[in-house]
Amino acid sequence: MPYKQAGKTFAGGLDRGTLALLAVAGAVVTWGWSNVAIKAVSVTGLVASFWRLWLAIPVLWLMALLTPGVRAGLGRKWMVGSLVGGLLFGFHQWLFFSSLKATSVSDVSIIGSLQPALVLLVAGPMFGERVGPMALAWSVVALFGTALVVIGGHGVPGWSAHGDLLAAGNLFVFTAYFLASKRIREDVGATAYVVGMTTVSGFVIAAVCFATGQDVASPRPSDWPSLVGLALLSGTLGHVLLNWAHPYASAFVVSILLLGVPVLATAGAALYLGEVPSALQVAGGALVLVSIGFIVASTRGRVAEELAESAAETDAP
């Protein structure tokens, strides 16, 4: 089995496969909000990334030290996984935050949503995942919807080719982080992993800020609520939810669910930043949402069959 789909149910009769999808949905909501918050703060992308990480790191370590189960997972595999995931995540933060400050929120979000196309190329050989023809067909529709949003974004206030190029680089780096994290989570607990990789990426961003002469003391008083929210909600809660879900959901389905982020981010940018989407962007966003629904529906039937085959693999990580 490439991932630990489980038949065990929890309160409300929900199995782990369903809870994993709900966890990813929670991450999608926090990340859709975070894209707007990053754009809205007055500091540079690197400074915003610095505080997003270093406001979270003390909270994460306090949680780890107070939780025996998390402390027990801080071994050699955790250290190696944290170094790999943290380096990739640090570079993702650098490119992602910088691209959001350079171009429109919708373009950064939608370019990033092309991730499923990259995941599809490697998820089969890497994890042995099977993608059904219906899910594959709807993924093509979803990607077509993202293309409409990108095309319709040209002319939207705040757009720049340089920012789009940074967003394209982030697409590849985040996909590498996403797939590496799924592999690492086979041996490392979700909370322990988030503690380790956040710490490593914090040092990566701190080094980049120092090397480029960033003023980390530049946030205004009005910036701090957003920076704290970025650290604790999208930065900590969102990543704990996503990394918890990895063993119980396929890489392909999770990456498709993440297509909800650009839709929420585009809507938020229109409401709070004045980046009003074009009609083409609205149509593309609608296609993305509809496609997500059909992909999840077509996948759940296959998952139900796999639950019966994996009853012996239901131990929590």
Per-residue pLDDT of the chain (317 residues; tens, 9 = 90+): 444 544 455 545 567 888 888 999 999 999 888 989 999 999 999 999 999 999 999 999 998 999 998 999 899 999 999 999 999 999 999 999 999 998 888 788 778 877 776 776 676 666 666 667 887 788 788 778 877 877 776 666 667 778 889 999 998 998 899 889 988 988 999 889 999 999 999 999 999 999 999 999 999 999 999 999 999 998 888 888 988 888 888 877 787 788 788 888 888 888 888 888 778 878 887 888 788 777 767 665 554 444 333 322 223 22
19 token code pair: 């809870």
For the question of whether the overall pTM of this predicted structure is more than 0.85, the answer is no
> SS3 of 25, please?
helix
Rounded distance between C-alpha atoms, residue 6 and residue 18, angstroms? 9
Closest CA to 223 of 65, 58, 38: 38
Rounded distance between C-alpha atoms, residue 14 and residue 86, angstroms? 32
202 token code pair: 């914090």
C-alpha atoms less than 13 angstroms from C-alpha of 151 in its C-beta half-sphere: 10
Rounded distance between C-alpha atoms, residue 224 and residue 222, angstroms? 6
Rounded distance between C-alpha atoms, residue 291 and residue 283, angstroms? 12
